[in-house]
Structure 1
Amino acid sequence: MKQIIYLYLFLSSLALFSQSNFNSQHYKVTLGDLETNTFEKDSTANALTIYELGNSYVDRYDYDLRTEIKQKIKILNKEGFDKANVSIHLYNKDDRKEKVDNIVATTYNLVNGKVTKTKLLEKDIFREKYDENHTLVKFTLPNIKPGSVITYSYKRISPFMFKYEGWRFQSDIPTLYSEYRTSIPGNWFYNIKLVGGKKLTTNTSKVEKHCLESSRGGYSDCGVSVYAMKDIPAFIEEDFMTTRDNYLARVEYELQTFKSFDGIIHNYAKTWKTVDREFKTDKDIGKQLRKSINLEDFLQPEVINESDMLKKANSIYSYVQENYIWNGDYKIFQDVSIKNLIKSKSGNVSSINILLHNLLKESGINVKPVLLSTRNNGFATKVFPVISDFNYIIVQATINDKIYYLDATDKYLNFGDIPFRCLNGYGRLMDFKKGSEWIDIKPSRPSNVLYKVELNFDENETLSGDVASRRTGYHALNYKKSYYQNKDAHLLKLENEFPYIDISDFKVTDKDITSEEFNESYHIEYNYEDTGDHIYLNPFFVVFFNENPFKLQERTYPIDFGYKDTYFYSLKLNLNDNYSIVEMPKERSIALPNNAGRVLFSTKFAGNSLVMMMKINFNQAIYEPEYYQALKEFMSKIVTIQTNSILLIKKK
């Protein structure tokens, strides 16, 4: 009788589980997977990975790397239908190529209380050439509806053991359970890297004896590992971040050594000492860096004979900026040719900045190349050398004991500035005498925005006045490009941003496109809201932040502005004897924790004038996720301050 009761309670609890919960423990689709159509932990989710499994191992007969994939996904609404579109990326090199086999895909629906299955047909699987080294195998699961559960599985077969299959635990939808199993023969030794900062819920390893054998009696043991994560939130991209690949939870493999059954060891991973030596003798970058240059072929005599080394460096930098155009190519280890650059006046990053390097070096200036990975390319690995992580090169110049970082690919850059794309934390300084080292890459000067506005009422009740603005650093760079690339469009954009003002006498006072600052001034006529005896004015006709850029409930990756900056706005409103102020915004002082930022907003009435000032400081270039809620509230208050109005009343 007790056994019957226990069985009844078990079946009852199982039925209750299946009606209200997803089965994240198995690939098999349950009634609970189909009946549960909401995800309480993330009400914004359009789809949900219930269960996923990867299993990578080396075939004992042909030594190919085999990876078996299983996915079970819940489609919560129509916006989640795109998860039914599957693309499998296959790599090929010369006569070797990856293959995919055993594709099985099924859509499950609950129709009138009954489970229906719709299988993917072979004819609906397509192949598409992506580029010379990649092919896509694509399919779309059939009969998708809100509430569907889809499953698909396949096996990828690869002859490329140096590309051991990595695994992503996180994607743009929540994941309940993700597991990756690996079996790696002792012949292959990999550097294994866990990225993203999330903790594994399972991390086990054991040794399997004689997992791989050779025809001559040799054998290898295998290291068998299991990695798993549970309840992984969706990764949602937001403003002020580098590439998402820096933060997605995943495991990656980098082949270090391979030992064949005859005992020969092949080294793939290298030390920086080895990399430095190879880099120096490389047929592309190394060879180009060693080229000698006849300065008379490039520079005017007055530049060559200039005794002030900083002035000389500035002139050389300007020469390269003005005479050679970057073609947008980030390839830094191939197609590097100063000869072709000189001939065509256009080239990739390496060609332009190596020409700059060589001209400075030939002029007696201490220079070294610096390898970078740009913001969109991800962080370069620091644990061990991975040259393929780098996609950019700049020049370090030391002049009068001061260090400058130079990039001649952008004609708007001031000497000592580098493009925003290069602000990715650090780079590798390639010093061929002392050895390479990691260095921090930071902006050379502050980035600020400052506005000074003075408005006056005349006897005809017209409100007009003058505006002066100054931008420095990256704020100046963006405005220089906007203005000098199309002056008419720049002015039109300015007028469209402020529809209730008329602009005249627009002036830019800077000398050229590489000035450190961008200064503009203009006269405005303010078309205010007049409701009889009352006038409403928004004192912020310039708004630094129209809306709060931070909207997530939680952000698990850093807020990366790239640089520290300051915003300053001052207004002097001169009233004539016909007006008095009834209501004006309250003064505010708001600080981020640890003095990481501050907003000061003050209003004073002196004589017959209102003086208002707002200053916003972001004292850090990068804020850790712990600051997110404070930054979110900080930005919200800034937006609120900028939408406040001043109420004026006409005197009787």
Structure 2
Amino acid sequence: MVFSRILVSFIILALSPLFLFSQEMRFGKYNDFEFNFNEVSFDPEADAVVLQESCYNLFSGIVLGSKIHRRIKILKESGKEQADVTLRYFKGDDNIQDLFKIKAQTINLINGEIQIEKLSKGDFYEVDAGDGWKEIRFTFPGVQIGSIIDFSYEKTDKSIVSLEGWVFQNEIPTLKSIYDITFPSFLRYKNLTQGLKTITHNYQTKTKGNYRWELENLNAFKTEPYMAHYKDYLEKIDFQLDGYEFREMDGYGTDLNKYEQLFQSWQDLAEYFTNRTEFKSYLEPKKKQAEITDINSNELDTLQLANNIYKHVTSQYKFSGLSSIVPTKKLNETISSKNGSRAEINLSLIAHLRHYGILAYPLLISSKGNGRSNLVPFPFIDQFNHLIAVSLIGNKVFYLDATNSDIPFGFLPSDFLVYQGFLMIEENSGLMDIKIPHSSGYNVFSNLELGKNSIKRESTIKVMDFDYILNSGLFNEINESNDVFQTKLLPKSGNPEVIQTISITENDKKENGLLINYTATKELDSGKNLYITPFQLLRWEPNPFVRASRVFPVDFNYIFTDRYATKIEIPEGYVLDDFPENASMTLPSGAVSFNFNVNVMKNTAIVNSIISVKNHIIDANEYPDLKYLMDIISSKFKEPMVFIKKSNNTEIDKPSE
């Protein structure tokens, strides 16, 4: 009898998640599963969990009404920070959104008794967040490990061209997330899904115009090494109005139903922007309005002329920090003030380039962190957040952002290194691939002289393209202080080499590179064996990939190739006794490869290594292979060359491998 009771209890416990998922939450109603839940099976380290959340949406005329409910369980002490809640909405000047009917309460089970602490009206604080945004902030009282915090509210939204949508993941794991929406018959929307679970979910229901997503066991979004923009990979759903039905009387008095489609083509979307008065002033400037007085175009080839125009704009125009995709000022105002948003400055650059006969057009992009890893392949207005310039010179395409003078002509900030953009031209506007030719990476060449009591290293580091551009601040610091170079680029433990001389020079052939020449020495214990590491890893030190698994892809930002070569003269009286084995590895996808090779010829050892990243995005499924490869790279760069003192029985030469 006791066994049967235990079995029944076990079955109830095992099936309790199904009970939870089979029923909708009701505010103020709680069950045993929620009180007994204490660990997330797919994330055991989680300090809190969303037990269930829902968003039900229904139109009233052309206003969208939403009912939102979220229930969270606190699992650990650090999870108590979930008690602080901020609800953000856009009110604007026309009350675009409104938020009301907020209910919130803390639930604790103490000695088998349910205790509830409700928040009153005075516990909710409205804050002006600027630029039309409002926030409602509140804190749950009495929160402890095991508490359930429960809140709900309603929201209205008059902005129906692009609906706010729903993100199914949270900063803590989510057991169940529901998004339900019912569209009126006269409005038609395109749904824009992202994430495997969202894309593959069967959202159709038996009710006409009703769509429903129910996703379960969703990972928390956490910052991981080489993934600063996890928002681009979240499970989410957005909507854009495709068109609407309306009634119209024809000339004979007949009542007709008609349908108006928005943005039938990319050209429609382009003209939506370019036909604006402010926008048009940049694309069709008045005569000589975009002339630059201190540029003599007759003495320059087209590429040099474009480069000089770019330098003029980056040095003379001040970026306001606003990254809108449409200008609010006309060209003459921007030129006069020498100040503007990213759209206004880059459109001014386009106007200047066009004035001198150089083809240039606006290009809209969705930068990293904007919430979408790939552009939607149809005219979707809300997916873009930056306007840059694209120019065709000869048979080469150059991408330009004139808001930062530290970025050379033809390069972009790291967050702008995306796959596609929306090209707006007079005809046939559409998506275009973004490819920036470059040869980024480090080339490190060293000569090591081994004396009786010291090592002397003479090295040249060639830093190329994005590795220089995106780290220019670091190299400026190095140029000012040997200590910075010692700290940033050389080993910090053991008996490190000490910098004696260092010089940094710009690469004469290209402005987006530099050379670092330095000498360093290291004292050795005389009379003992020598342990020499041929070179130092300039990237990934320490190894950033230590977690056993990963949720999001790895993003190295750009492709690159690092080359290392060190020549070591074997000192008199020593013989090379041991050295790292040769290695050659490549990820299954071919995205990353590694080669390590040692050649020994009489009194000289030459060590070479190449690390090549051919695809800067590594899928999370390939992370275990990447982690293993990085472990090999890290260990290889730490393995020493071992030189031992000769004796009468010691071989003079070590055979090559």
Pairwise TM-score range, normalised by the shorter structure: 0.7 to 0.9
Q: In the TM superposition, what is the alpha-carbon distance from 1:435 to its structure 2 partner?
A: 2.1
CA 1:234–1:455 in structure 2 vs 1: closer, same or farther (change >3 Å)? same
CA 1:69–1:451 in structure 2 vs 1: closer, same or farther (change >3 Å)? same
Give secondary structure in 1 for the equivalent of 2:80: helix
Give secondary structure in 2 for the equivalent of 1:494: helix
CA 1:395–1:99 in structure 2 vs 1: closer, same or farther (change >3 Å)? closer
C-alpha distance in structure 2 between counterparts of 1:575 and 1:76, whole Å: 60
Give secondary structure in 2 for the equivalent of 1:236: coil
1:310-333 alpha-carbon deviations (Å, 9 max, x no partner): 333333333333433434331231
> In the alignment, what sits opposite 1:414?
408
Give secondary structure in 2 for the equivalent of 1:206: coil
C-alpha distance in structure 1 between counterparts of 2:415 and 2:187, whole Å: 36
CA 1:548–1:336 in structure 2 vs 1: closer, same or farther (change >3 Å)? farther
C-alpha distance in structure 2 between counterparts of 1:63 and 1:326, whole Å: 38
Q: Give the gaps of 5 or more residues in structure 1.
A: 1-6, 209-222
CA 1:67–1:315 in structure 2 vs 1: closer, same or farther (change >3 Å)? closer
Q: In the TM superposition, what is the alpha-carbon distance from 1:532 to its structure 2 partner?
A: 5.9
C-alpha distance in structure 2 between counterparts of 1:647 and 1:436, whole Å: 63
2:346 counterpart of 1:353: yes
Task: Write out aligned runs for 1:364-383 (5 A).
Answer: 364-379=357-372, 381-383=375-377
Q: Percent of pairs identical after alignment?
A: 25
> In the alignment, what sits opposite 1:397?
391
Q: In the TM superposition, what is the alpha-carbon distance from 1:381 to its structure 2 partner?
A: 4.2
Q: In the TM superposition, what is the alpha-carbon distance from 1:198 to its structure 2 partner?
A: 1.7
Q: In the TM superposition, what is the alpha-carbon distance from 1:64 to its structure 2 partner?
A: 4.3
Give secondary structure in 2 for the equivalent of 1:198: helix
2:218 counterpart of 1:232: yes
> In the alignment, what sits opposite 2:56?
55
1:343-401 alpha-carbon deviations (Å, 9 max, x no partner): 44443323332232222222222222222222232447434323343232333222222
> In the alignment, what sits opposite 1:493?
484
1:464-523 alpha-carbon deviations (Å, 9 max, x no partner): 12110112120121343433478325x432121325222233222326897132111111
Q: In the TM superposition, what is the alpha-carbon distance from 1:440 to its structure 2 partner?
A: 0.8
1:456 is aligned, of 435, 449, 456, to 449
Q: In the TM superposition, what is the alpha-carbon distance from 1:140 to its structure 2 partner?
A: 1.7
C-alpha distance in structure 2 between counterparts of 1:151 and 1:405, whole Å: 49
1:619-647 alpha-carbon deviations (Å, 9 max, x no partner): 11323333222112111211222222333
CA 1:295–1:19 in structure 2 vs 1: closer, same or farther (change >3 Å)? closer
Structure 1 contact 423–562 (Cα < 8 Å) conserved: yes
C-alpha distance in structure 2 between counterparts of 1:356 and 1:63, whole Å: 40
2:566 counterpart of 1:595: no
CA 1:336–1:449 in structure 2 vs 1: closer, same or farther (change >3 Å)? farther
1:445-464 alpha-carbon deviations (Å, 9 max, x no partner): 121211011121235x2211
2:513 counterpart of 1:522: no
**Cα RMSD, aligned residues only:** 3.2
Give secondary structure in 2 for the equivalent of 1:96: coil
> In the alignment, what sits opposite 1:252?
238
1:66-96 alpha-carbon deviations (Å, 9 max, x no partner): 2112222221111212222222222213242
> In the alignment, what sits opposite 1:284?
278
1:178-205 alpha-carbon deviations (Å, 9 max, x no partner): 2222222112222212222224555232
> In the alignment, what sits opposite 2:653?
none
1:641 is aligned, of 636, 641, 646, to 636
> In the alignment, what sits opposite 2:654?
none
AA at the equivalent of 1:324: Y
Q: In the TM superposition, what is the alpha-carbon distance from 1:165 to its structure 2 partner?
A: 4.8
Structure 1 contact 107–117 (Cα < 8 Å) conserved: yes
Q: In the TM superposition, what is the alpha-carbon distance from 1:556 to its structure 2 partner?
A: 4.7
1:315 is aligned, of 283, 293, 308, to 308
C-alpha distance in structure 2 between counterparts of 1:241 and 1:151, whole Å: 31
- Give the number of aligned pairs: 627
2:459 is aligned, of 463, 467, 482, to 467
2:60 counterpart of 1:41: no
Structure 1 contact 98–158 (Cα < 8 Å) conserved: yes
C-alpha distance in structure 2 between counterparts of 1:202 and 1:48, whole Å: 25
> In the alignment, what sits opposite 1:577?
572
CA 1:512–1:375 in structure 2 vs 1: closer, same or farther (change >3 Å)? farther
Task: Write out aligned runs for 1:46-125 (5 A).
Answer: 46-59=47-60, 64-125=63-124
**TM-score (structure 1 length as normaliser):** 0.87
C-alpha distance in structure 2 between counterparts of 1:264 and 1:374, whole Å: 38
1:211-264 alpha-carbon deviations (Å, 9 max, x no partner): xxxxxxxxxxxx122221122222333233463332111221212334457768
> In the alignment, what sits opposite 1:126?
125
2:229 is aligned, of 243, 254, 268, to 243
1:13-58 alpha-carbon deviations (Å, 9 max, x no partner): 6654488998344424222322231223211212112222221113
Q: In the TM superposition, what is the alpha-carbon distance from 1:138 to its structure 2 partner?
A: 1.7
1:324 is aligned, of 310, 317, 330, to 317
> In the alignment, what sits opposite 1:4?
none
**TM-score (structure 2 length as normaliser):** 0.86
> In the alignment, what sits opposite 1:273?
267
Give secondary structure in 2 for the equivalent of 1:414: coil
C-alpha distance in structure 2 between counterparts of 1:169 and 1:398, whole Å: 42
Q: Give the gaps of 5 or more residues in structure 2.
A: 249-256, 648-657
Structure 1 contact 416–444 (Cα < 8 Å) conserved: no
2:192 counterpart of 1:193: yes
Q: In the TM superposition, what is the alpha-carbon distance from 1:602 to its structure 2 partner?
A: 1.3
